[in-house]
Structure 1
Amino acid sequence: MSERWISIDRERSARRIERDIETLAGPDYTRSREAIRRYAYTPEYRNTLDYFIKELEAVGFRCTEDPVGNLVARNRPAGERVFGIGSHCDSNRNGGKYDGTMGVAAAVEVCRLNEELGLNLPLQVISFLEEEGSGFGQMVLGSRIVAGRVSEEELRSFRAIDDGRTFFEHAKEAGYEPERWRECARILDDLVGWIELHIEQARVLEDTGNRLGIVDAIAGYVHADITVRGRSDHAGATPMDLRSDAGLVMAECMLELERLAREAPGDTVGTVGEVELEPNLINAVPGRARFSLDIRGVDEEAFRGVARRLRDFAAESARRRGATSEYSERQSLSVTPLDKRVVGALEEAARASGEPYLRMPSGAAHDTMCVADRVPSAMVFVPCEGGVSHSPEERADPADAALGAEVMLNAIRRLVAAG
């Protein structure tokens, strides 16, 4: 083994990662026979944490959980500087085996390799709580708590989707102390860096023939609604030139959103995912239309500019058709640029692996966007078949995750040595 690059037995690592993933797809780890379904404070989620705890303790890690249930495992005492790796092991309610779980399994494999190869790298694994929001309808909840992106009032107001009971009630019943939630921030105190491996959840890597993606930014987004109010009339009796059709305004806006997003820089994308028409009858001209906007990108001005221009376009389109439009923003989030030094170390390791890789942004949100507030961070993507995710049909290759583990190990080795 050279000082610059360590090769691993990728086939053995792939088998171990596959064993982890297949075990966690078993009946003790999901609430559904048709899909992977596990979320905070359920027995199946508890079983999943216990599985990873057992695997980490086997290679000398001390495992703890913070006051809300984020899992933390270290091979150094508290106070010593460590490099962070991990992801999440909860699932979408109709999820697959790989989303999140593969990232934690790859982090565990890095820990196994560290022990077997005698590298003695200082490591900390984190599996964040409720990334998918399946328990309480709040995405990246565990990492948002750690990053201080929630308030006490909000935490006390969050309610479980299944039974309506509060987050605090469920956390306490599971043996945690959610009233101490501010102390969760401490789990990042000793980190000198952070890397999360995740399936891509798109098909860019697959379509371009790349085995790894080195993620240099996580897209920001605008979530909004446009409501158009026209006039509902009889579909047969009302001539075309006497209509104020809210549905046609919506249709024009959908096409304009596509045009604006294609022209914008920064990997900008725009989607209308929800639509409503009233009265929603086959023989009535729509008098009201409501449609959602999901506009994302890694160029802040570009994606926010698309939202502004579409708002203005909707107003003009509605005016021309004798209607009105109203723009309402639900939520917006800024771009998360990832750390150039960590990204550079990953890119160098990926290049040294001899395997094809792509430097790319993430269009989806991840826990890393919260960690990056305080810790130099980056991500590694592996392909998923057909880009399918959040589905029982989700597929990814453990061999790609093993390659990802090798690249992470070498990047961390370089970063730790550089200090």
Structure 2
Amino acid sequence: MKLHWLYGALFSGRKLAWASAGAMLLTSMAASAATEVRVWHSLSPYNKEVFESLVKDFNRDQKEVTVKLKAFGSEEEIEAALDAAKKRDDRPQLVQLDDDRAPDEVAGRSYIQPLHALLAKYPIKDAKWFLSEQNTFARDSKGRLVAFPYMVDVPVMFYNIDAFKKADLKPTVPQRAWNGLQDQLVTLANNGSRNCPLTSDQPVSINLENLAAVNNQLYASNDNGLKAKSKPAFSFDSMYIRHLSLMISWVRSELMVKPEFDSVATKRFAGRECAVLLSTSGNLGYFKNSKKLDFAISGLPYYPQVTQKPGNPFVGGSALWVTAGQSKDSDAASAQFLAWLAQPKRAAEWYQNTGFLPLTEQAFAQTDNGYYKDLGDWKQLVAANAKNPGANSRGFRIDNYPQIRAMFHATLEKALSGNQPAPTALNTAAVEAGKLMRK
């Protein structure tokens, strides 16, 4: 009997072991059956953490799709990797790219699938995009959305409230007029902010592109290149000359630190070294998370001599583009992930924690006034982008604009270093831009 009992126990134990092993095998098979969505991005370290947290929530919420992230140091690195991987199985399903002010060109690449084509098969229900359809960012010439507008930002003026208080400036907000701001910078420099009254990391955006948009002027001819009759041209008139001359004088008199890159300017502002920073709104979340930094946001400065009321700046940033040539299951999985990101709760979380513009109207509506309490004019600056933009701030279309922007950057660097007067720098830049457009 004992032998029989022992045999039965051993047999039962084996059945349990086999059942357990079978369950483990089924679990493993289920896990391996999940469709993988690879996402390449070049988010800043802080926004990268926010995105990773959202992706962890998505992967935890369901088992059908697994999102895997790969971070790059810049969008240029992504472009190079994408070009090398477009014929390999390890290319991503979603990739962060700028539309380069030529979204039709990006959407027409062999390895890109326009977002509207994916959404025609897998619609995102009930999502109402926040950006006005009149805004040209990530939209083709027919107004169709070609990419998921997820990392969209606008240039703004961040200011350190403590620095303004220390300088006894009342009210503790920067003036929007450039000349009025100059007077405040002198006071700030003489009262605690000598090392860095003002800095920026966006010289082309602030001093060329949005100098036009905020002053309600065209940036380029042919309605900023939106009319396809002929190539647009740059004409940097007296407004640009006077402005760049002013900026050169600010650098010389140490009211402004020359543009600083690779997060140098943002780190200095976060560390309370600089009183004013002209940068992108995508830094807002990083600054909110910075210890002891009391800051707020205003719109970019303008010239009352040119326009009575400042216009909106151009929308910029980047978007998630869908790659072409993926399987049906892969496309469905990508659409599922994008739809999840577009859910009001998730989209509101992304907006509030980063400073990128809201993805949807619902995300903006879900953000209560408590969020904006200490952020200055941020709510009004954001809300303006849901309305139809003015003719001068819808966007612009310029062929080979990445190369032109790089040339503009080098030209401004030379001028701000005191090596070239403003009229010469701007005239040279306009001529060189025309040549690059024709390439």
TM-score range, shorter chain: under 0.3
Q: Rg: which structure is higher?
A: 2
Q: Which has the higher helix share?
A: 2
TM-score by length of 1: 0.24
